Structure 1
């Protein structure tokens, strides 16, 4: 398995990035990296990618790292389209590239006590805990064009690599208990409502409430209630930047019982009011307004937004083809 080790004594340098979505038959056009790395996070796939002489099938919730000085392209069309984030960056320090057994590499990473700021990632890997990564990507792409915005993006891109490293190493530390926690998370996401509480979760997954609370806290550093509220905030954040719904409408659509509670909780979690959050981060979605299918947005809202996107998809594709630096 191929790995990259990035030294982060200095931050990497953000170059460009974006989000691309197409609902019709599509494959990645031919490109060449001159000296930059590219990180591709697949939302909807699969994507059939050839990098040099190697072929990869990039599936949803997977990350692919494309090295510099490499020809790459889609070797096969995906008839159902694709949706992915893409970020280009330059490394300020030497990057080690090596082939190794994954289990051996992960074992060394877990016991590394050198103190060096090194992030090691495989060329392609799963990203099961994607929520925080999505937030970081949004912040990178939505950074305002101020005098210092490039520096801010440099540090955010470095933070993104660290988050990916943590997620990669942690997923190889799974045991029976953490696997159980993952299934609990999925149940919560699938059954979100304004009335969902700890007692209901415990009852439906056949666990004692106190036991559920204890193991969930041990494995996630959050209580079950905090996790439920985080999911509600994720839904609200998505609707704020990808729709023109009022704050009141978003409050109810993100499973809060009243708008005042929603605004208070949102400000507490993000440090911004809903309106401030919309103003700060909505510009990333001006050319791409679909709802992330992995965030539990109410289906009636997701469907209405996606219908609007589908009707404008030809214009989106046309715009993306006009800019060689802003599309794939």
Structure 2
């Protein structure tokens, strides 16, 4: 389904629904208008301005005019709404956007196919859609995402965590997530993970009477030796020395 609007250099330009049941990859392009892609089915793997994105159902991405974008890998059974416009981009990426936005997009396409509706109707619908996207973006802002990731790391600090695992879970590029955490927490994502694992290990050392091997297991280490190496490298003392130094002192994280 494809639609083209005539005689306009502002607001809504054109849009439609793209569907492919077979194998597909986004072609390389550099266009002179902004574009919204709202995934309805499958995965869209795309790169713009050196940053890679993997989009799934209900994810939205805004592609900027004049910037080169292209697919990074082939996927199958893909469907997404797309439309071009000349207004400012409301947000770069939104994960799990509200279904209300897809309803508004379908209404936009309906009005475009109905001659009785004036041109202004399309621009008003575009304004409403972009406003809804901006509201969704505010509710899932970078700082909110950073807090969500940090809380997940804290909850899972009793086991091995990798930046790659977090990238896969939240569907963001690893480099982007590291920059995001650095901006919000002052350290990279990898260092934040290490800090949380150390904090958990210290808590286990000081709040339990388990021996060091048992503490290592509670902290998700496969062996006592790995735990010892990790702890000594970052704390410059052994777990036993740390326990002897601080055991009995009231620990408070507030």
State the TM-score, normalized to the length of structure 1.
Answer: 0.37
Q: Larger Cα Rg: Structure 1 or Structure 2? A: 2
